[in-house]
Amino acid sequence: MSTTTKSVGMPTFRSFTAVDLVTLAALAALFRAMDYVTGAFAFVFPFNTLFMAFSFGVTALVGGVIVRKTGVFTLFTIAAQLINFFLQGENLVAVLIMATWGLLADVYVYTRLRAGADPFSSAKDLNIANLLMGVVWVVTTYGIAFPIIFLVELSTGVYAALMVFGVVAEFLGGLLGVSLGNRIKGLLG
C-alpha cells in the first residue's frame, strides 16, 4: 500500500497509485455490499439505514488510513457511488448528491496538510474528518435524498432522530475504521 503520508497539492488521479485505487475500489465494494445487510433489516425502516452510515464510516476511514492522500475520502465515495449506480441501479440524481459525502473531510485534510500537519496520523484530525463526513452523509441522505428524491414521508421528529443517530453511527463506524486501518497499515508495513 502507499506509504506516502503527505500529498499536499490538489488531488489528481495521477497522485494515486494503482494499489491505492484498487484498495479504495475494494473498500467501496465492501461498503456497497453492506447495503444488503441494511436491506435485511428493512422491517425497521428507516432506521435500518443507520447500518449503512456505520459501514460507510468503517470503510471510508480504513481507506483514509491506508491510502493517506488528499482526496482519498472523495475518491472512495465516488467509487462507492459508481458501484451504486452501475451495479445496484441507483437513481442518478441521488448518486450525484451522495457522491459529496467525502468532500468536506477532504477539504479539512487538505487545510491541515497545508498547515504542515499530518492529519492521517492524528486521531483528532481523523475524528474531525470523520465527523464532517457523518454530517454530510446525514444531510444528503436524510435531508435531501429521502424527502426530495425518493419522496419518503416521515415526520420531522423521525428525520431529526435519523440525523442525530446517523452522525453517531457514522462516527462510531469511523472510529472502528481508524483502528482497523491502523492495524492493516501496520501489517502492510
- The CATH fold assigned to 13-188 is Arp2/3 complex 21 kDa subunit ARPC3 (1.10.1760)
Question: With a threshold of 0.95, does the pTM exceed it?
Answer: no
pLDDT confidence tier of residue 25, bands split at 50, 70 and 90: very high
88: cell is 445496484
Q: Which whole number is the average pLDDT over 92-119? A: 93
24: cell is 479504495
Grid cell 462510531 in the structure block, residue: 172
Grid cell 451495479 in the structure block, residue: 87
pLDDT confidence tier of residue 2, bands split at 50, 70 and 90: very low
Spatial separation of the C-alpha atoms in residues 120 and 148, rounded to whole Å: 35
Which amino acid type is present at position 134? G
Determine the 3-state secondary structure of 118 from DSSP: coil
Q: Which tens digits make up the pLDDT trace of 34-59?
A: 888 888 888 989 899 999 999 999 99
Spatial separation of the C-alpha atoms in residues 140 and 94, rounded to whole Å: 9
pLDDT confidence tier of residue 163, bands split at 50, 70 and 90: very high
Buried b (16+ CB within 10 A) or exposed e, 139-152: bbbbebbbeeeeee
Phi first, then psi: what are they for 48, rounded to 5°? -65, -25
Cα dihedral 183, 123, 173, 70 sign: negative
